[in-house]
Structure 1
Amino acid sequence: MSEKKKLLYVDDEVANLNVFRIAFKRKYDVTTAGSAEEGMELLANEKYDIIVCDHRMPGMTGVEMLAKVSDEYPHMIRIIISEYINDEIIRHAMKSYNLDGSMGKPWDAGELIAIIEGQ
């Protein structure tokens, strides 16, 4: 069996981190971060193939984080999750930072895997 892809999931809600980890641990090597700042620290010290990031978080937003990730880690699959998926900020981020996908909340595991594997 091939090695699992490394996925970083960033969300400020602990319940979401736990549900995500459970839902995706069989398919991916999942690491979670409770803030964009924590996520950036993890990225500086470890190589990830995929980042899935919530948009609305205190401090640095998901869009702000993925803008940095797009510059620093251009080969990483980058996906934004937001309750407001049709929000102008999300549409702008998709184009400006060449994100690989977006998903509304609550997310659907099958759809998210399809976005990731479609890359």
Structure 2
Amino acid sequence: MAEKKKLLYVDDEVANLNVFRIAFKRRYQVTTAGSAEEGLELLKNEKFDIIVCDHRMPGMTGVEMLQIVRDEYPEMKTIVISEYVNDEIIREAIKQFGLDGSMGKPWDAEELISIIEG
């Protein structure tokens, strides 16, 4: 069996972290972080294939975090999740920083897998 891709999911809501981990643990090796700062710290010590990040978080937003990720880890697939998926900030971030995709909240597992695998 092929080795699972390593996925980092960043969200400030513990319930979302738990649901995501349960939904994707069979398909991916999932690590979670409760803030953008925690996620960036994990990235310093571990290699991930994919990062999925909530946009609206206290402190650093998901878009701000993914901009840093894009600069420092250009090979990593980057996906932002937001309740406001049509928000101008999200659309601009996808264009400007070359993010690989976006998804609204609540997310759909199959749709998110198609973005990750696409």
- What TM-score, normalized by structure 1, do the two folds share? 0.99
Q: Which residue of 2 aligns with 1:70?
A: 70
Q: Which residue of 2 aligns with 1:40?
A: 40
Q: Which residue of 2 aligns with 1:107?
A: 107
Cα displacement (A) at 1:54: 0.1
State the AA in 1 paired with 2:40.
Answer: M
Q: Percent identity?
A: 82
Structure 1 residue runs of 4 or more that deviate by more than 3 Å after TM superposition: none
How far, CA to CA, are the matches of 1:89 and 1:18 in structure 2? 27
The unaligned stretches of length 5 or more in structure 1 are none
Pairing 1:52-67 to 2, within 5 Å after superposition: 52-67=52-67
Aligned-partner SS, 1:9? strand
Aligned-partner SS, 2:116? helix
How many residues end up aligned between the 2 structures? Answer: 118
Q: Which residue of 1 aligns with 2:18?
A: 18
How far, CA to CA, are the matches of 1:104 and 1:24 in structure 2? 17
Q: Deviations over 1:50-75 (max 9, x none)?
A: 00000000000000000000000000
Aligned-partner SS, 1:18? helix
The unaligned stretches of length 5 or more in structure 2 are none
- What TM-score, normalized by structure 2, do the two folds share? 1.00
How far, CA to CA, are the matches of 1:43 and 1:65 in structure 2? 11
